[in-house]
Amino acid sequence: MTTPTLLVAGTASHVGKSTVAAGLCRLFADRGLSVAPFKAQNMSNNARAVATADGDDFGEIGVSQYVQARAARVAPTTDHNPVLLKPHGDGTSQLVVHGRAVGLNSAGDYYATHWEDARNAAVESHRRLAAEADVVVAEGAGSIAEINLHDRDLANIETARFADADILIAADIERGGVFASLLGTLELLPEDVRERVVGAVITKFRGDPSLLEPGLDEIEERTGVPVLGVLPYDDPGLPEEDSLALPAEGERATVGDDDGVAAERAVTIGVPRLPRISNATDFGPLAETPGVRVAYLPLDATLDGIDGVVLPGSKNTVDDLLALRDAGFGDELAAFDGPVVGICGGYQLLGETIENADIEGAAADETVEGFGLLPIVTRFSRDKRVEPVSVEFDGAGPLAGATGAIDGYEIHMGDSRIVGDATPVSGDGAALGRVAGTYIHDLFANDSPRNAFVDAVYESAGRDRPATRAAGATGGKRAETAGTPEADADAGASGDPYDRAAALVADNLDVAALCDALGLE
């Protein structure tokens, strides 16, 4: 008997597929099954560094499969997301296959030149996972009903076919038109794929589920597909898969202001909403800290009312640097007198110059001036550093006092060197006065540097920090590391976002019917 695969597909993007998949990964793992998460093709700049399938190196996968592997209590590998497209701007994406960057391609070039190789990579990865697991939980991408892409839809149609998958379709009622979305999606599926659909689930419902019953009955009567559950609107605390959760470019949004701390006792950390922002999950732990608000700012925003600044990572550091400078953000930053931290691409922005900049920036000269707040020079090369890191952190500047073992990861092109009077910071970083930078992503998921930075922001703002200091979901790290035995022991079931996702699914979805369809005990 072949290993069953369940494909969690959707009627659209951002309908809750990742949450449902993560919850099922944890539920199946709790039943003693060996579970393999899988997404054949992902498009996201929120990536993680994991071991390659052969265990000899490190590569990149999308964050959703990283956290689903944690939910399944297995070590994440590049087989969990064999094809990753990282939007680069100007209609191009960096293609990552089995964790390694292949090159920059337009959508047309990708489908014409690389798609068959990408499909072969996905088939190979799925075959390896299925050979070792009791069940594969696959996540689709966007809508499974994009009829213009059905001949090349790797994450949905092709996965359903080569994995011989059963399909659960998720539909988001928060968007409105959920019944039309379900009916239309089922109607537009190729016949052989339509026959694989074993059920549907409605997500993000607010209110009394009994009010939906007439609609659910009619959908089932019209389609023959059972609606296996209605999930209430809830956020288990899993990292966002992509930038859809961020405000659109040019808009401002604040998160973390629902913590019960009075506005006059809180501080606000500004994060410029870069056009090519990457790994925006870096800032979730700050927003979850009592008394801290994270404001995503348009590039031309003033820093009035901002108490600290974090410059985020970027898929294209040079072009984002030019965009920030054109919008006047460099002048705002130079006049700002609060703590500033740059992470990865944000660290590179803070330096004096970027050399070999034309490697990355389409509009760039060979050398581009940075904001000049740190005495560092960054030199780009075509080599890419991708690896998880565990270091004894030694902070300085706005990270002063941060010490001890921390975990994170690095994904970047280019290396930076100190060329002036600055204090080294872990992660090939540097600090001078109120400014610091590091290449370590997930920095603030660790208690010590997060608390050091928040303390510095409060001190600079002249306010007393609230006594309550919330640690991450696992005491020292957030959801990315929950699911390990050590983390589970520290957190307990109620604090683990994967257990919360599992409870959300178990309490509101007919998991027994899914298990019957998959042939699971």
pLDDT tens column, 169-214 = 999 999 889 999 999 999 999 999 999 999 999 999 998 888 999 9
Residue 320 pLDDT more than 50? yes
Comparing C-alpha atoms, which of 10, 17, 5 is closest to residue 185? 10
Which of the four pLDDT bands, split at 50, 70 and 90, describes residue 469? low
Residue 243's pLDDT band, with cuts at 50, 70 and 90, is low
At 395, is the pLDDT very low, low, confident or very high (cuts 50, 70, 90)?
very high
Can you give the pLDDT at residue 270?
97
pLDDT interval class at 427 (50, 70, 90): confident
The strand order across the sheet containing 197-205 reads: 35-38, 135-139, 5-10, 166-172, 197-205, 227-232
Tokens, residue 441: 């992503």
Give the CA distances from residue 277 to residues 71, 320, 387, 430, 482, in Å, rounded to whole numbers and listed in that order.
Answer: 26, 8, 20, 22, 25
Q: Please provide residue 187's backbone torsions phi and psi, each rounded to the nearest 5 degrees.
A: -65, -35
Note the pLDDT of residue 242.
57
Predicted local confidence at residue 480, as pLDDT: 45
- Say if residues 58 and 50 touch (Cβ distance below 8 Å): yes
Residue showing tokens 């990282």 = 86
Active-site residue, selected from the candidate residues 88, 98, 344, 412: 344
What is the DSSP code (8-state) at residue 134? S
Tokens of 228: 């296996």
Q: Which of 80, 98, 126, 441 is catalytic?
A: 441
φ/ψ (deg, to 5) at 392: -85, 105
The residue that leads in pLDDT, 51 or 240, is: 51
Element (H, E) at 483: none
Q: What backbone phi and psi angles, to 5 degrees, belong to 374?
A: -130, 140
Q: Residue 474 pLDDT more than 70?
A: no
- Reply yes or no on whether 150 is catalytic: no
Residue 59 pLDDT grade (very low, low, confident, very high; cuts 50, 70, 90): very high
441 is catalytic: yes
Hey, which residues does 229 pair with through a beta bridge?
Answer: 201, 509
Q: What is the pLDDT of residue 365?
A: 65
Helix (H, G, I), strand (E, B) or coil at 179: helix
pLDDT classification of 521: cutoffs 50, 70, 90: confident
Q: Confirm if 410 and 416 have CB atoms less than 8 A apart.
A: no
Mean pLDDT confidence for 252-264: 91
Report whether pLDDT(492) > 90: no
Greatest Cα pair distance in the chain: 73
> 384: which 2 tokens?
């890419």
Domains assigned to the chain:
5-238+498-518 (3.40.50.300), 262-461 (3.40.50.880)
**How many residues are recorded in the chain?**
521
Where on the phi/psi map is residue 356: left (φ > 0), alpha (ψ -120 to 50), or beta? left
Percent of the chain with pLDDT over 70: 92
311 vs 330: CA distance, rounded Å: 12
